[in-house]
Structure 1
Amino acid sequence: MLNALRRRPDSAAPEWLVVFLHGYGSTGADLMAFADYWQVSMPTVAFVAPDGPTATKDGGFQWVGKRPGNDPRLYDDAVAVQPVIDQFIDTELARLNLDASRLALVGFSQGTLMALHAGLRREQTPVAILGYAGGLVGRDKLQVDIKSRPPVLLVNGELDEFAPVYGMHVAVKTLSEVGVVAAGQSLPNLAHAVDADALILGARFLLSAFAYRAKHGAA
């Protein structure tokens, strides 16, 4: 089982679960910092931030290998680690007594890669996928692989040299072609990072997705 940080809602039983997936050489604690900004506006949301399954030589953890974005082995890596993420998510949902439709995934960098890969292949559609500074792998396989179509928002810095903004546009186009309601937002003067504007955009997206799912139910 993955090591993880958890934060329960402030004042209510949990109605939603946000799972954070961190970037290369990082830990769950880095993304749990997002909850510091979001928790006030999300009083019924539980947050969990696992560490990736494999330690890196530079410290921290990873979900997939440190490879160029166009390396086809990234897809193989993602396929290999997806069952680990799915098992973790299912265990967390059961622990909180939440239905799988109450799940949102939030990733950064290769965590975005895995949020998209795992989220689009879950049997029950997540409420939303929010990805920062990352994109899709195995785009040519998605039409066959896809099982669920949650709304997706991708946010990318225009100055990001590690995950260039064109990758976000390619991902949004690919997602749209397979019937996913997807949007991309590029932010000027932002490199491979998440700033206050990115967090505000993410919070608005998640709150809108929660409200829509609460009103209309799972697809």
Structure 2
Amino acid sequence: MTILNALRRDPAGQTDWLVVFLHGYGSSGADLMAFADYWQASMSTVAFAAPDGPTATKDGGFQWVGKRPGSDPKLYDDAVAIQPAIDAFIDAELTRLGLDASRLALVGFSQGTLTALHIGLRRAQAPAAVLGYAGGLVGREYLAADIRSRPPVMLVNGELDELAPVYGMHVAVKALSEVGVVAAGQALPNLGHAVDAQALVLGARFLLSAFAYRAKHGA
């Protein structure tokens, strides 16, 4: 089993939730852990964990899946291959923090979004939320057969994103809705393949709303 290296930021007091960040191609957990700098003040009982992908890239940084075109069917195979390592990491973090599996949220960027969607929809216990920036869904043709849980999903995409065109976000939301997932997409003008302050605010609101709903209604 692949062991993932990770950065962690635990709350000073009570821990109620775990957010796991999944970075983009050629990046690392440290890059997405920067999101916690913006969110921590409003998420005082949230633990953040940001693992590095298992494979180093030739350009530096790490990857979860291969650097392939979004339409390449091998992306689905790559996601299937990495799933056990990420699930094991998540389960170990939940155990370390003494949290139930329903107290998890996954946050991805680019191929990290692809990976977060793949993992989140196939866990035995639905995460509280899956939030994805600048990324989409792979293996749509397998989703109806594969899906094990239906966490709420929010996808945020820049309208000027050339690496992950906003069209892919709309396709993903439609596919998710067709299998009973409550999914929403938000296209942001004047934003490319990046996350800006507005995207972070939207993401924080979505996570806090999902946490409140899960706390009130249970898994």
Q: Please confirm whether the aligned pair reaches a TM-score higher than 0.5, indicating the same fold.
A: yes
1:5 aligns with 2:34: no
1:127 aligns with 2:136: no
Give the AA of the match of 1:214: A
Q: Which residue of 1 aligns with 2:72?
A: 71
Q: Which residue of 1 aligns with 2:199?
A: 198
Name the % identity.
Answer: 83
Q: How does 1:1-219 map to 2 (within 5 A)?
A: 1-10=3-12, 12-218=13-219
- Cα deviation for residue 143 of structure 1 reads 0.2
- Cα deviation for residue 25 of structure 1 reads 0.1
The SS at the match of 2:48 is strand
The SS at the match of 1:98 is coil
The SS at the match of 1:111 is helix
- Cα deviation for residue 13 of structure 1 reads 1.7
Give the AA of the match of 1:8: D
Question: Under a length normalisation based on structure 1, what TM-score does the superposition of the two structures give?
Answer: 0.99
1:60-98, Cα deviation, whole Å (9 max, x unpaired): 000000000000000000000000100000000000010
Distance 1:42 1:80 in 2: 32
Aligned residues: 217
- Cα deviation for residue 213 of structure 1 reads 0.3
Structure 1 portions without partners, runs of 5+: none
Give the AA of the match of 1:9: P
Distance 1:80 1:180 in 2: 24
1:193-215, Cα deviation, whole Å (9 max, x unpaired): 00000000000000000000000
The SS at the match of 1:192 is coil
Give the AA of the match of 1:86: D
1:22-62, Cα deviation, whole Å (9 max, x unpaired): 00000000000000000000000000000000000000000
- Cα deviation for residue 106 of structure 1 reads 0.1
- Cα deviation for residue 9 of structure 1 reads 1.1
Give the AA of the match of 2:142: K
Structure 1 residue ranges, 4+ long, deviating more than 6 angstroms after superposition: none
Distance 1:166 1:23 in 2: 19
Structure 2 portions without partners, runs of 5+: none
Distance 1:186 1:125 in 2: 25
Distance 2:140 2:70 in 1: 12
Distance 1:79 1:215 in 2: 33
Aligned-residue RMSD, C-alpha: 0.4
The SS at the match of 2:11 is coil
Give the AA of the match of 1:177: E
